[in-house]
Structures are given as structure tokens and as C-alpha cells.
Amino acid sequence: MSAGLLWTLALLALAFFWMLGAYNRVMALRSPIIAAWAQLETVLQARRQALASLLVAAEPRLAAERPALEAVIAAQAQLGAAADALRPRPADADAVGALARAEAGLTPVLARLASLIEQQADWREDAALAGSLQALKELVPRWQFARQVFNDASTAYNEAVTQLPTRLLSALFRFGRAGQL
């Protein structure tokens, strides 16, 4: 074997092992996004259950406010659909964006429903309403924490994908940017 062939083989081996290391690094950074999504999904499920309990307890009393109830139900359905779309690929920026928009749509209608309930003194004393409303309020910091963990994991992944020399492999391995909530 000639010296030129040995140098070429050494450079090819070096490039291969560099690509392997870069791929493994990016994949290792994708794993925390998946773990953070699992935390977010747990909070979403708990909120879905608390909201369902609240709606069951509030529906008979809010007959005159049917549009507010329907807005909450529609926003929750949209959030559920966005979460279902995100489940298979938690790092997909478009799906994360859809979830963020759905969350932004749920927040004001949920605040309106809570304000309608809190305006009535006798409703606040109802254990079912008060318990469900309290459960929803207790989930807010859990959601914020889980969202921050998800965003931190996405930031670390995005930084790795956009840095040279890993950026050279982005097209080859389809490393896209991860979305943030």
C-alpha cells in the first residue's frame, strides 16, 4: 500500500468517526426533548381530567354562559389534537408551534370560565367546583416548569444542530430545528 492510499484511508476513517460522534451527540440531545415532552404530556393529561371535572360540575350552573363552556371545550379539543400530533415527534418545530398556539387559545377561555365561577359566592362553596378549580390552578406552575425544561432541552439541541461542523450533517441526517413552547 502506498503512503497516499494510507493517508486517504486514515482521513476517511477520521471523517467517518467524526460523523458518527456528531450524530450520536445530536441524538443524545434529542432524548431530553422526548423526556421533557413526557412530563408535559403528564401535565396535559392531568389538566384535561381536572377540566373535565370542572365542566361537569359547572355546566348545570352556567346554562346562560353556554358560549363560554363551548369555547373551553373547543380550545381543549384543539389542544388535545395538537398534543396528539406532537406525540410521535416531540422535536418537530411545526407540531410544537401548533401546541403553543393551542395553549395560547386555551388560556384566555379558561381564565374567563374561572372568573365566571369565582363571581358567584355560592358556587365557590361547592366542593366539586372548588376542587376542580383548585386542581387547575395547581397545575399552572407544573406546566410552566415542564415547559421550561422542554424549552431548555430544545435550545441545547438547536444549538448543537446549528453549530459547525455538526451543521454540515443536518441535511444528511435531517436534523431540523426543534420547536419551543
Handedness of CA 21, 27, 30, 34 (dihedral sign): negative
In degrees and rounded to multiples of 5, residue 90 shows phi and psi of -65, -15
Residue 10 lies in a domain: no
d(C-alpha 176, C-alpha 162), whole Å: 9
| Domain annotation covers residue 16 | no
pTM of full prediction above 0.95: no
CATH of the domain at 127: 1.20.1440
Does a structural domain hold residue 14? no
User: In the chain, which residues have pLDDT < 50?
Assistant: none
- DSSP structure class, residue 163: S
Q: Could you give the number of structural domains in the chain?
A: 1
The reported pLDDT for the residue numbered 124 is 67
Give pLDDT tens digits for 89-129: 998 999 999 999 999 999 999 989 888 888 877 776 777 77
Number of H helices, E strands in the chain: 6, 0
